[in-house]
A and B are shown apart, each in its own frame.
Chain A
C-alpha cells in the first residue's frame, strides 16, 4: 500500500506522522526551513508562496503555541488563515468531524491544520479527502491524541541540527511522561530515521509504554544512568490532564526523582542542549534554573517552529 502521506510522485501530500516518513522527505523539510528563518528579519515578513490559498486551523483541543505558530507561518506565506473556534462551533451541536470538513471544503479550503484529542482524526480526514477525489486539499496533523505531533518532532530535529550539525554521532535522552506523549513518539520516529545511534528514554515505568524498547530506544531506569554523556536532553511535559489512575505519587515527588536540575544536567556533556516542547511545568519536570539557563534552547525551538511549519505548508501547497 502506498504511504498515505505521499502522492503518486512521492511528494508530500499530507503530514500525518513522522513514523514511516522517508528520511529524504524529513531532510527536505529541514533544508527548506533553513532559508525561511531569515524572513523574520525583513521589513516585509511575507513570501508569496500561498497567496490566494485558504488555510483552516481546526483545533478541537486547546493550544496556544502550536496554533499561533501555524497561523504566523501561514500568514508569512501570504495565505488566508481561518481559525475555527471549536468551543462555539457546530461540533457542539452534534455535527460529525467529516461533515464539518465537507462544509469547510464547500468554502474552498486548501489546507487543514488539525488538532484533535482522538488519535487518528487527521488521518481520517485525509482518507476522506482521498476517497472523495479531493487531492488538492492537504492535511497537517497538529497533534492527535497520544499518536503524533509531527511538526513538533520536525522543529526539534531542526533545533538539534542547528546546534549539533549532524545526527550520526549523537546520544539523545528523552525524559518524563513518554506514555501520554505524542511529542515523544514523533521525536523517536524522527531521531531513529535520521540515524541517531543512541536514543534513551528515562522515566518512571508507569509513564512509559510497555513495549518502549520496540521503538528502537534504550530504557534507562534512573536519571544518573540516562543522562550520562548525552548531547541532547529532551524534556517532556507531565500530562496531568491525560492521566487516569494513580500513576504518580505527586508532582513534588516526580520532581525529586525525574525533574531536571543543574546537578543532574551536569552528568550530560558540558555542551549538551536542553529542549522542552512547552508548556513547561516549572518545578515539576524542569527546574527554573535549568529552564532559564545557558544550555536551554527552549525559546529558539519556538522560533524555529515557524520556519519548519512554513516549510511543511509550502511543500504541501506546491502541488
Chain B
C-alpha cells in the first residue's frame, strides 16, 4: 500500500479543524503518536491553552489480558476540563477502544462541554460506536487486523506514517 505523506495529512487536518476551533479549544494527545500530532496542530491552529496528554494504559479494557504497560507515562491535563471544548488527538483510529479509554479518563477530571476526536487516518475496523469529528484520510478499504499503522518521528522531529506487518 502506498502510504500518504504525514506532513501533508497534518496540514489537511489542521485546515479541516480551523473553522470549528476557537483559541480556547483544548487539545489532548494520546501517547505517543497523538501527542506529536497534537503539538503540530496546536502550533498550526495558534491555540492558547496548554497542551494535554493522555496515556490510556490505566484505562484499557484489555488490562487483565495484556497486563500493565511496563512504562506508563501518565496523563497531564494542565487546564480546567470543566466546561471546556476538548479535541482528543490520535494518529490512527482503529477499533475505537483507545478513544473510549481516553474519554473515560478525561471525564475523571471534570465535565467538558464538548469533546471532538481528530485523527490523521481512519483505518476502519471499528469495534465500538465511535467516529472521528475531524479526519484527514479515510482508507477506502479497512486494513487487515495483522497490520499496524502508526505515526513515527525521526531525530529531526519529522513525522511519517509507517506500516508494520505483525
Interface residues of A (CB under 8 A from B): 11, 28, 31-32, 34-36, 38, 42-44, 46-49, 314-315, 317-319
Contacts and interface: CB of A to CB of B under 8 A. Distances in A.
Contact of A48 (B55, B58, B70): B58
Nearest to B104: A48
Contacts of A31: 70-72
Contacts of B71: 28, 31-32
Contact of B68 (A34, A38, A44, A315): A315
B79 to A, nearest CB: 13
Contact of A43 (B59, B63, B75, B110): B110
Contacts of B70: 28, 31
B142 interface: no
Given A43-B108, A48-B104, A38 B63 contact: no
Contacts of A32: 68, 71-72
Contact of A38 (B64, B67, B75, B110): B75
Chain B interface size, as a band, is: 20 to 34
Interface string B93-107: 000000000001001
Contacts of A48: 58-59, 104
B58 A42 contact: no
B108 A49 contact: no
Given A46-B108, A47-B59, A318-B63, A35 B68 contact: no
A48 B57 CA distance: 10
B109 A35 contact: no
Interface in B56-89: 58-59, 63-64, 67-68, 70-76, 81
B74 A38 contact: yes
A275 B109 CA distance: 33
Contacts of A46: 108
A35 B72 contact: yes
A67 to B, nearest CB: 24
A119 B76 CA distance: 42
A179 B152 CA distance: 54
Contacts of B73: 35
Contacts of B76: 38
Nearest to A28: B70
B115 to A, nearest CB: 16
B111 to A, nearest CB: 9
